[in-house]
Structure 1
């Protein structure tokens, strides 16, 4: 988004009610290839964050439902209905899933927009397109999961082979339900595993539609299962279940630590993409017009509910005041409103809880001496959970809004004098998921990116992501990688076979 684009206002309009696909509206659990109500019989409301109104109800699974889903997945592993197919056979099914995702793109986009509150335009061109790309990428990789012959001095023929782990628990967050589930589910299926998916309780709807799509594509019964309901006890039971062989988790650092501890009791592997608080370093030699557009997009995208967003801006001092002036004008012009309006750039936060959290951080920043350059307040619109995109200057590096993950459309701006100081400030939080820098110097780009403590670094851009390029965290942002061959490798184990030749 350029500065000029960000200044093109769309007047907020009432949010129109939507009609969701039938399988989503019914909101039942998907276990062993069948739709069913929870054993406990309870249901949970799903709210449209743009209106605060209920759009659906879903079954609230209990531990007995988790046990049934894990049992179905384990049975499918044991009889090999999926795990023993060739990579080529699995590839055909996953490519078909990608094709169906593209065919049903409008349904998926509508579900994501209604469930999360994200602008329908972004849901189409980012969330749905990315999910299809993910399935296509791993479909190709499924045919390449081979081993190798190892030369040894032994009187033996030695080789390795890659095998699926078994039952994978995929636990995903509220901010990118379709994308962040696909990163796990597609890779796990490509490697031959079976999956039990526990989506976030606030945003479970696309998981149900994906169950229908994967079944239509040819994924056998029991190989993919969905249990909806609250996190807490349900998630704990799934993670600790003795028949779950691996946990793939995306969420907060606090919950990720808890998940790892539970899984560690049974020594099962975990991949965890956790919190982030990325710094975006703006050097004085950058193309300022392009850089400001990148800065704004990095912190307002998905209403700031993006673990790889750029909520911290570090600006070289000679252009600090200039940048604040441009941001004041440009951020005020970001179109905020109805997610179903194609002109909307930023929708609501995902829940009242998230809105309260973001507002609390801004009030705390004011109390700590921060100056609100623009925004800093809720936006009353249709009863939704809207917060104006906000820029805060003048905070010390120890302020909570600088050190912690706000997870909303809030940008803190700090000046720096030297390259060394910029790197020190960028690395000064407990997180290390992403980072960025804006500069016209290729040598500086290499030099600084090499010193940033992050799993992915963007130069003169933000959030350029592709299924071939791995991402993941260091420090308190987790471990393991999504995307790329690295992702599939984490869903396999290596077996060595040594056959005596005499």
Structure 2
């Protein structure tokens, strides 16, 4: 049975630099200066492991966003950033990556306190991954080129294209991977030569604010990166609507993504969206279950299931269904759930009381509809926002628990017999973000990958390497992040024709 160890003596001690940062005055980063919100309002960032207050945060709104946009516009049009060479941008990005590495222990503790994930995950994956994102994108800063074009019309012309930065960018990042998602957004935009107004999620602002200090230390000019903390319906809405923002990049729910699209109509700003998913994972009869079952446990319950790419719908061939169900259920029950700072914790809390309630209501709704819980099934303990890793079977593809993005440690299993049937079920969703296939038949793997309507297909494993473009189909988003596609998303192509 899954339990939680909340013993204070079993928690990692906080670094003095972390304690000092938590006591800092609430401030926004605008035009190179840390300043309170114009309204003077603040809110608190809470520890999801126990609900305690971590820090006071400045509550920015439309007035603060407007100041930040003006600063970003000056830096882009007439400030030093407009004259900064691509090689110098690359050096700053690399310097920032080095600073992230230098302060990795501090950033990892802040991330775990604010978001809840195990400290070894923050320290071993999120923080070094963020540094690698800045290093990778630094390489693209000097490699964004146009092309010459041969004109077939009468006359003698020299024609070419050139890539230019799109301009001032508003970026709104989520709470599940706070620093990593900020890096995914900031690094390509800065490599391309854009300036940024960044809004971290109100639940997890701490590492973005610390990153702002490191950005200044890395030598980025004032106004290039502005950080406005606040709520979605105030600061986020102001970014989406602002007439002097050229592009908005958003990661979050599909519903909020649609509202951003509507808000962007005013000046027809560009929009890129990385949204929800209800991702299928297909376990074929010839799958290597020794690899597949641990892979599914890791994918399903990492970050407490608060991952847009989680394999939340698992379709298993009937001949191995009972084996997979038993393996997943046993694995879920064996996971050590506890505060992220507790050594040995494999799964932390979910982000908030609101998220906990939403997850447990989905589970209860599934049971009411006839689903069967074979592991977990609800809240753990009374302190903090912990949900037991949950496995649900006896699920039809029409049940809400099988169709709606739960964004928690809940997976549903369904059996199948024929490839055509499972492909139909896999594609029978409004989402199209990722999919997994577990099989040793390489021909089936390629055929199925072609027919599944999703932006990323993983066969017998998973990689989120920064070099791989990532984006969804259908209501899972617009555009691709990472790779060269992620940088080009922050550029515009201009055609120049010279009559000779």
Common fold by TM > 0.5:
yes
Greater Cα offset, 202-211 or 150-159 = 150-159
2:4·2:381 contact (CA, 8 Å) conserved in 1? no
2:91·2:138 contact (CA, 8 Å) conserved in 1? yes
**In structure 1, distance between residues paired with 2:492 and 2:23:** 39
2:240·2:263 contact (CA, 8 Å) conserved in 1? yes
Aligned equivalent of 1:4: none
Secondary structure of 1:144 counterpart: coil
Q: How does 1:213-292 map to 2 (within 5 A)?
A: 213-292=214-293
**In structure 1, distance between residues paired with 2:124 and 2:451:** 33
Unaligned 5+ runs, structure 1: 1-6
Q: How does 1:322-401 map to 2 (within 5 A)?
A: 322-380=323-381, 383-401=383-401
Distance change (3 Å), C-alpha of 1:25 and 1:442: farther
1:84·1:192 contact (CA, 8 Å) conserved in 2? no
**In structure 2, distance between residues paired with 1:185 and 1:147:** 23
Aligned equivalent of 2:437: 437
Distance change (3 Å), C-alpha of 1:22 and 1:192: farther
Aligned equivalent of 2:469: 470
2:229·2:235 contact (CA, 8 Å) conserved in 1? no
1:222: how far off?
A: 0.3
**In structure 2, distance between residues paired with 1:293 and 1:63:** 46
1:420: how far off?
A: 1.0
Q: How does 1:187-226 map to 2 (within 5 A)?
A: 187-226=188-227
1:437·1:459 contact (CA, 8 Å) conserved in 2? yes
1:214: how far off?
A: 1.0
Secondary structure of 2:84 counterpart: coil
Q: For 1:383-402, what per-residue CA distance to the aligned partner results, in whole angstroms no more than 9, with x for missing partners?
A: 11000000000121111110
State the 4+ residue runs in structure 1 displaced beyond 6 angstroms.
none
Distance change (3 Å), C-alpha of 1:48 and 1:280: same
Greater Cα offset, 144-153 or 213-222 = 144-153
1:24: how far off?
A: 5.1
Aligned equivalent of 2:175: 174
1:62: how far off?
A: 2.2
Aligned pair 1:113/2:106, yes or no? no
Aligned equivalent of 1:423: 423
1:84: how far off?
A: 3.1
**In structure 2, distance between residues paired with 1:229 and 1:265:** 22
Distance change (3 Å), C-alpha of 1:43 and 1:171: same
1:11: how far off?
A: 6.6
1:50·1:386 contact (CA, 8 Å) conserved in 2? yes
1:83: how far off?
A: 3.4
Q: For 1:418-463, what per-residue CA distance to the aligned partner results, in whole angstroms no more than 9, with x for missing partners?
A: 111111111111101111011111111111111111110111113x
1:311·1:411 contact (CA, 8 Å) conserved in 2? yes
**In structure 2, distance between residues paired with 1:408 and 1:330:** 16
**In structure 2, distance between residues paired with 1:164 and 1:329:** 51
Q: How does 1:50-61 map to 2 (within 5 A)?
A: 50-61=49-60
Aligned equivalent of 1:3: none
Distance change (3 Å), C-alpha of 1:24 and 1:451: farther
Q: For 1:164-199, what per-residue CA distance to the aligned partner results, in whole angstroms no more than 9, with x for missing partners?
A: 111000001111111111111111000000000011
Aligned equivalent of 2:68: 69
1:265: how far off?
A: 2.9
Aligned equivalent of 1:12: 5
1:10: how far off?
A: 9.0
Greater Cα offset, 235-244 or 149-158 = 149-158
How many residues were matched structurally? 492
Secondary structure of 1:228 counterpart: coil
1:21: how far off?
A: 5.5
Aligned equivalent of 2:90: 91
2:453·2:473 contact (CA, 8 Å) conserved in 1? yes
1:364: how far off?
A: 0.2
1:21·1:107 contact (CA, 8 Å) conserved in 2? no
Q: For 1:74-104, what per-residue CA distance to the aligned partner results, in whole angstroms no more than 9, with x for missing partners?
A: 0101114223322111001001111111111
Aligned equivalent of 1:456: 456
TM-score by length of 1: 0.96
1:83·1:193 contact (CA, 8 Å) conserved in 2? no
1:24·1:206 contact (CA, 8 Å) conserved in 2? no
